[in-house]
């Protein structure tokens, strides 16, 4: 079975997912942040990686870029509890093969490594749905915040919102369609 690098700053989630992957016959290497992940990548040669998007220090997107520089054939799936179209697009552009929202179980993650858009029966037109207005607003806010490097004051200026209003909107979970 595959050697999988699992990078997530939430220790409980990371340990639970690692145990589930081990029960399915995989060898699992774990890391809690960007630095630990790079150390594991330097000493081991995993075939697959599951990377959390938001971590203390450099983000999962930065780790995707660095990991693929060290191991160009590494297959990466990005996991996040704060998904948006902007971050999904950026993850794929940087070289991740898939992007999943949390919570994701071991079966979904393993399936994400094997699914590709050119498999028979995978019609991208079937998956397109119009997001709700609340969802579109949430994604736009997160895209602007990403463009501002996470600076809430700058994002609030660009969005023409009061900083506290923006912080309240960001503290909410993304609306479900």
pLDDT in tens, 36-45: 999 999 898 8
Q: What CATH topology corresponds to 129-171?
A: Arc Repressor Mutant, subunit A (1.10.10)
Instruction: Output the pLDDT for position 116.
Output: 54
Q: Residue 120: how many CA atoms within 13 Å on its side-chain side?
A: 0
More reliable by pLDDT, 137 or 70 = 70
Choose which CATH entry (3.40.50.1100, 3.40.50.2300, 3.30.70.260, 1.20.58.480) describes domain 3-120.
Answer: 3.40.50.2300
> What are the residue ranges of helices labelled H in 24-57?
34-43
pLDDT in tens, 11-57: 888 898 999 999 999 999 999 999 999 999 989 889 999 999 888 88
Task: Say whether pLDDT at 63 is over 80.
Answer: yes
């Amino acid at each position: 079975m595959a050697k999988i690098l699992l990078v997530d700053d939430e220790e409980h989630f990371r340990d639970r997912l690692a145990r589930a992957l081990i029960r399915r016959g995989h060898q699992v290497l774990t890391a809690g942040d960007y630095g630990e992940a790079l150390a594991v990548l330097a000493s081991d040669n995993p075939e697959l990686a599951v990377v959390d998007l938001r971590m203390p220090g450099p983000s999962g997107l930065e780790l995707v870029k660095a990991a693929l520089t060290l191991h160009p054939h590494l297959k990466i799936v990005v996991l996040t509890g704060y998904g948006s179209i902007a971050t999904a697009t950026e993850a794929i552009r940087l070289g991740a093969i898939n992007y999943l929202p949390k919570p994701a179980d071991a079966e979904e993650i393993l399936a994400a490594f094997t699914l590709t858009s050119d498999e028979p029966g995978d019609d991208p037109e079937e998956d397109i749905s119009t997001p709700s207005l609340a969802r579109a607003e949430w994604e736009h806010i997160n895209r602007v915040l990403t463009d501002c490097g996470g600076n809430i004051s700058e994002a609030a200026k660009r969005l023409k919102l009061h900083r506290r209003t923006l912080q309240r909107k960001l503290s909410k979970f993304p609306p479900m369609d």
